[in-house]
């Protein structure tokens, strides 16, 4: 299945790389902080045409769909056509295409592709995680020697206070932190040991479904900040870690 999904996602990456004059193809969804571009829509419609035929009966659950049905029954592609749209609009070149394939609410395949670096992260449940075909693993670095990533939950702005408090608690225990702006890539960066921890107070299923599997297959852990399993029907918080730092959560004020 990965051998079939990966070339499709790579081709979709070509749409991202071909983008020109992005600002004039950008529209506000709910506010100036919540943008969609014609490239997000083009990638999503390309993936919607190509992916479902790979798995008869599979539904397509995508960020830019007008209406989505629950991805918990049967096979479902959970898709973020461009994760890191604000980065994309501003030419910051830190964005990815994220595709998960879930069965009855369990993610079985995950692919996250950064077209700028030509980095293809992939995982199959029980089959390990890979970057451009080579196995990847989380770091064994304690936070005291490490760097964490965080997201600002910008679409749930009331969560900024808790986000700042959590950032301060972790910053005091670490070397530094990053806010890179594409959650799917943040999870992959933990999976391959570039980051040692990541949190965000609110993410959507398409932000974390593929990256979450890649992380756990790379030996990491993912849960909500309440320590619950990730949810695929609504937004939830995310705590993503290597094995060394996972229990720090119990010592923090969430
Ligand atoms: C967003 C990015 C961002 C994260 C937001 C996500 P989008 O996805 O992953 O890093 O902070 O919570 O919604 O809107 O660019 O697809
Ligand atoms: Ca996203
Ligand atoms: Ca998106």
pLDDT of residue 68: 86
Which tokens go with 35? 């943008």
- Alpha carbon of 1 to ligand 2 centroid (Å): 23
Supply the mean pLDDT for the chain. Answer: 97
Q: Does the Cβ of 189 fall within 6 Å of ligand 1?
A: no
pLDDT of residue 72: 87
Nearest to 148 by CA among 172, 126, 131, 128: 172
If you take atom 5 of ligand 1, which residue's CA is the nearest one? 153
Is 198 a residue whose pLDDT tops 90?
Answer: yes
Q: What is the mean pLDDT of residues 126-154?
A: 98
pLDDT of residue 152: 97
- Alpha carbon of 234 to ligand 3 centroid (Å): 15
- What kind and span of H or E run contains 111? strand 106-114
Q: What percent of the chain has pLDDT over 90?
A: 94
Q: What is the mean pLDDT of residues 137-149?
A: 98
pLDDT of residue 133: 98
pLDDT tens profile 26-55: 999 989 998 899 999 999 999 999 999 999
Nearest ligand to the C-alpha atom of residue 235: 1
- Alpha carbon of 184 to ligand 3 centroid (Å): 10
- Confidence class of residue 214 from pLDDT cuts 50, 70 and 90? very high
pLDDT tens profile 9-24: 999 999 999 999 999 9
User: In angstroms, rounded to a whole number, what is the distance separating the alpha carbons of residues 167 and 34?
Assistant: 23
User: In angstroms, rounded to a whole number, what is the distance separating the alpha carbons of residues 223 and 226?
Assistant: 8
Q: What is the mean pLDDT of residues 110-130?
A: 98
- Alpha carbon of 251 to ligand 2 centroid (Å): 29
* 197 burial via Cβ count (<10 Å: 0-12, 13-18, 19+): buried
Q: Does the Cβ of 84 fall within 6 Å of ligand 1?
A: yes
Tell which one of 33, 207, 238 to mutate to probe ligand 1, the residue whose CB is within 8 A of the most ligand atoms.
207
């Amino acid at each position: 299945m990965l051998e079939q999904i990966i070339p499709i996602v790579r081709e979709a990456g070509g749409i991202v790389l071909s983008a020109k004059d992005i600002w004039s193809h950008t529209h506000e969804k709910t506010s100036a902080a919540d943008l969609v571009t014609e490239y997000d829509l083009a990638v999503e419609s390309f993936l919607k045409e190509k992916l479902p035929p790979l798995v008869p009966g599979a539904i397509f659950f995508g960020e830019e769909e007008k209406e989505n049905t629950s991805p918990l029954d049967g096979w479902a592609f959970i898709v973020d056509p461009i994760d890191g749209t604000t980065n994309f609009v501003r030419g910051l070149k830190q964005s990815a295409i994220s595709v998960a394939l879930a069965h009855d609410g369990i993610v079985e395949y995950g692919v996250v592709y950064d077209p700028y670096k030509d980095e293809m992260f992939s995982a199959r449940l029980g089959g390990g995680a890979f970057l451009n075909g080579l196995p990847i693993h989380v770091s064994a670095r304690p936070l005291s020697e490490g760097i964490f990533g965080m997201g600002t939950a910008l679409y749930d702005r009331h969560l900024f206070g808790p986000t700042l408090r959590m950032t301060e608690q972790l910053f005091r225990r670490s070397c530094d932190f990053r806010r890179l702006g594409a959650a799917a890539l943040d999870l992959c960066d933990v999976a391959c040991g570039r980051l040692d921890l990541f949190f965000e107070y609110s993410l959507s299923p398409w932000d974390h479904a593929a990256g979450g599997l890649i992380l756990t297959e790379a030996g990491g852990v993912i849960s909500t900040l309440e320590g619950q399993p990730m949810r695929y029907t609504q937004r939830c918080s995310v705590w993503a870690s290597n094995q060394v730092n996972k229990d720090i959560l119990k010592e923090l004020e969430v």
